[in-house]
Amino acid sequence: MTGTNLDHRHLVLEADDLTRVFGEGGTEAGRVVALDGVSLTIAAGELAALVGPSGSGKSTLMHVFGCLDTPTGGTLKINGIGVSLLDDNALSAVRAHQIGFVFQQFFLNQTQTAIENVADGLLYTGIPRAERTRRASDALQRVGLGDRLTHRPSELSGGQRQRVAIARAVVGNPPLILADEPTGNLDSQASADIVALLHALNYEGTTIVVVTHDLKLAALFPRQIQMRDGSIVADVVAQP
């Protein structure tokens, strides 16, 4: 079911025949085709789940989408920018300005407060510090942690920590948010809260792609892109 009624909208991600082969040039046995020709578009305002069994290539695809890894073949555009040929510095710029990341392990700085962690989402954008702090405060309000600005990660629950990490991803209002197993370290209640938060942020206009191996969780999102062995095997858009 590719080709949806969202096609006329601005595309924040256009992937064409992406491949990623690990261990190329080594022995045939060490060669792993993690992505085997992935073509996909994500339009502005979408909330999509990328779902598939372990080892199907979800994280690899996420890293390629996030310009953390370069594909072996194919082309990729982020927010209209062809990133396939960019050098390392330019890829850093794309990450700084176009993409927000949420990780399973949160990756918060334990020595910093919530607001400092969130402000670091803008650290490499050239925005002055005072303005970064102001926007971080706004972002923490958006994720419902307006009363936890100066708490440190150790003083927050797992769900709250992931909220801080989500605030850090959205603080710059990037056109694309990539979340790899954002509920992987959380209990069911906290997971439900995070899913609800992602829906709320999407409702405000944020484009989000969530990676999960959990079909039940994926079913909670309007679009489900299913992967297997490095390829997309199904792309389902729930009719509203």
Partner 1 sequence: MNQLSPGPNHSSNHPQALNLPRAQLAPGDATRIAIEGIRARPLRAALAGLGIALGVTALVAVVGLSESSKAQINQELDALGTNLLTATAGNSFGGGQAQLPQDAVAMVERIGPVQQAAGVGNINASIYRNDKVDPIKSGGIGVNAATRSLKDTVGLVIADGQWLSAITEQFPTTVLGSTAADRLGITAELIRSTNPTQVWLGNHWFTVIGLLEPSDLTPELDSSALVSWPAAEKYLSFDGHPTTIYETSSDTSVDAVRNVLAATVSPSAPDEVQVSRPSDALAAKAATDAAFTGLLLGLGAIALLVGGLGVANTMVVSVLERRQEIGLRRALGATRRHIRNQFLGEAVTLSVLGGIAGAVLGILVTAIIATFNGWPISLPIWAISAGLGVTVLVGIVAGIFPASRGAKLPPTAALSI
Ligand X SMILES: Nc1ncnc2c1ncn2[C@@H]1O[C@H](COP(=O)(O)OP(=O)(O)OP(=O)(O)O)[C@@H](O)[C@H]1O
What is the DSSP track for 5-35?
TTTTSPEEEEEEEEEEEESTTS-STT-EEEE
Q: What strands lie across the sheet with 47-51, from one edge to the other?
A: 99-102, 176-180, 208-212, 47-51, 223-228, 231-237
SS3 (DSSP) at 74: strand
Of 181, 169, 203, 183, give the one whose Cα is nearest residue 99: 169
Out of 13, 18, 34, 169, the only residue in the binding site for ligand X (CB under 6 A) is 34
Residue at 154: amino acid letter = S
Give the nearest distance from C-beta 60 to ligand X in angstroms.
3
Query: Does residue 124 touch partner 1 according to CB under 8 A?
Result: yes
To 5 degrees, how large is the angle CA 203–CA 226–CA 27? 130
Residues 196-235 that bind ligand X (CB under 6 A): 213
Residue 22 or 127: the one with the smaller Cβ distance to ligand X is: 22
Cα–Cα distance, 129 to 112 (Å, whole number):
15
- Count Cβ atoms below 10 Å from residue 87 Cβ, excluding itself: 8
Query: Does residue 54 touch ligand X according to CB under 6 A?
Result: yes
Element (H, E) at 65: helix 58-65
Q: Which partner in Mg ion, partner 1, ligand X, none is near 32 (CB below 5 to 8 A by kind)?
A: ligand X
How many residues contact ligand X, by CB under 6 A? 13
Query: Does residue 185 touch Mg ion according to CB under 5 A?
Result: no
Out of 4, 19, 59, 185, the only residue in the binding site for Mg ion (CB under 5 A) is 59
Query: Does residue 28 touch partner 1 according to CB under 8 A?
Result: no
Out of 4, 75, 125, 133, the only residue in the binding site for partner 1 (CB under 8 A) is 125
Residues 121-150 that bind ligand X (CB under 6 A): none
Query: Does residue 52 touch ligand X according to CB under 6 A?
Result: yes
Taking a C-beta distance cutoff of 8 angstroms, is the pair 186, 158 a contact? Answer: yes
Residue 75 or 231: the one with the smaller Cβ distance to ligand X is: 231
Q: Which residues of this chain interact with partner 1, rule CB under 8 A?
A: 63, 66, 68-69, 79-83, 85-90, 92-98, 101, 103, 105, 107, 109, 111-112, 120-121, 123-126, 128-129, 172-175
Per CB under 6 A, residues contacting ligand X are: 22-23, 32, 34, 52, 54-60, 213
